[in-house]
Amino acid sequence: MLSREALKRVKRIEIGARRKVGTLFAGNYASVFRGQGMTFSEVRPYQLGDDVRRIDWNVSARSKDIYVKEFVEERELTLALVVDVSASQRFGSRRGEKLRLAAELAALFAFTAIKNNDQVALIAFSDRVEEFVPPKKGRKHVLRLINDILEVRPLGQGTRWDQALTMADRVLRRRAVVIMISDFVGMQELTHMKAFAKKHDVIPVWITDPMELALPNVGFLWVRDPETGQERFIDTSSSLVRDAYAQNVATERERIQMIFRRAGMNPIDIVNGQDYTRQLFQYFRARQKRAL
């Protein structure tokens, strides 16, 4: 049972997500996300232009006419939200923490899924799996998932994607849509990531805060890495320091992009504090065109 304050917080996110659901896929959710596969429906007489590979030779031999197999797509999907709840997700310079933005995005995908009668699961992780919520349908289930993301108190501080993907591989027995929501800080290449991306429809959602991209010119600062605890005293008024920081960020982001490319993944870049509706719409519209 959610507390009154928790319920208010979750409902605010629900209201915002529901407003965006109608426009995100523009009614084309089914064409953006494919079903589990194709199942046999019936046989029918062969028509000119039918794929000869679909001919049912047993039925054709018995009837002395040519029949082909008809298949229908299994529409029901499982949407798995794999959400990073490590210490770095608690940072935010605009509109709150990155974790709150992660909860908003998770809600948007989850409400879209249940609107289309699909199930939603949650794997929240840090340097270990912090929580797993099995797939289920319904509004109450989604509200619980949002609250779990916001309220989780992780035992770990760092981030280990191998733990998250191993868990996902174990619990997702059939093909699923996997939404990976993280800042991907320090992400390492995993040997089984490419195989995982072939088995499931994987979409990384890469959250970044503006202050992580460029240092502000505010003089001397103590900075601390929330995941390792390392601290440094830096002079942000120095253009050399700011330029070096920007270069390191660009190099690291390119390294992570390369990991995604090698695994055949195409991430969605989201910046904390900026409206992401149009960006998501364009991403999925392009995805739909590629599927046609």
pLDDT at 269: 94
Q: Judge if pTM exceeds 0.85.
A: no
**Which has more pLDDT, 3 or 146?**
146
pLDDT at 240: 95
Domain shared by 149 and 260, yes or no: yes
Asked if 209 contacts 100 with a C-beta cutoff of 8 angstroms, the reply is no
What's the pLDDT tens digit per position in 80-117? Answer: 999 999 999 999 887 789 999 999 999 999 998 988 88
Write out 50-87 in H/E/C secondary structure.
Answer: CCHHHECHHHHHHHCCCEEEEEEEECCCEEEEEEECCH
pLDDT at 282: 84
By residue count, the chain amounts to 292
pLDDT at 73: 53
- The residue from 19, 50, 74 where one domain ends is 74
Alpha-carbon span 181 to 105, nearest angstrom: 8
Domain shared by 87 and 135, yes or no: yes
Residue 179 clears pLDDT 90, i.e. is over it: yes
pLDDT at 285: 80
Average of per-residue pLDDT across 192-210: 92
Domain shared by 85 and 124, yes or no: yes
What is the number of structural domains in the chain? 2
Domain shared by 184 and 58, yes or no: no
Q: Cβ contacts of residue 215 below 8 Å, gap of 6+?
A: 234, 236, 241, 242, 245, 246
Domain shared by 90 and 199, yes or no: yes
pLDDT at 18: 83
- The residue from 14, 45, 74 where one domain ends is 74
pLDDT at 70: 72
Residue 277 vs residues 27, 39, 77, 120: alpha-carbon distances, Å: 15, 35, 23, 21
Domain shared by 48 and 98, yes or no: no
Domain CATH for 87: 3.40.50.410
**Which has more pLDDT, 110 or 222?**
110
In single-letter form, the type of residue at position 188 comes to Q
Domain shared by 142 and 178, yes or no: yes
The encoded tokens of residue 216 equal: 């502000």
pLDDT at 82: 97
Domain shared by 109 and 229, yes or no: yes
Domain shared by 101 and 183, yes or no: yes
pLDDT at 184: 94
Average of per-residue pLDDT across 193-219: 92
Using pLDDT thresholds of 50, 70 and 90, give the confidence band for residue 29: low
In single-letter form, the type of residue at position 258 comes to M
Using pLDDT thresholds of 50, 70 and 90, give the confidence band for residue 186: confident
- The residue from 53, 74, 95 where one domain ends is 74
Domain shared by 259 and 286, yes or no: yes
What's the pLDDT tens digit per position in 136-167? Answer: 999 999 999 999 999 999 999 999 999 999 99
User: What is the average pLDDT score of the chain?
Assistant: 86
Alpha-carbon span 117 to 45, nearest angstrom: 33
Alpha-carbon span 149 to 107, nearest angstrom: 10
Average of per-residue pLDDT across 193-215: 92
pLDDT at 26: 54
Domain shared by 175 and 69, yes or no: no
Share of the chain above pLDDT 70, in %: 90
Range of the domain at 270: 4-31+76-291
Average of per-residue pLDDT across 58-77: 76
Domain shared by 64 and 202, yes or no: no
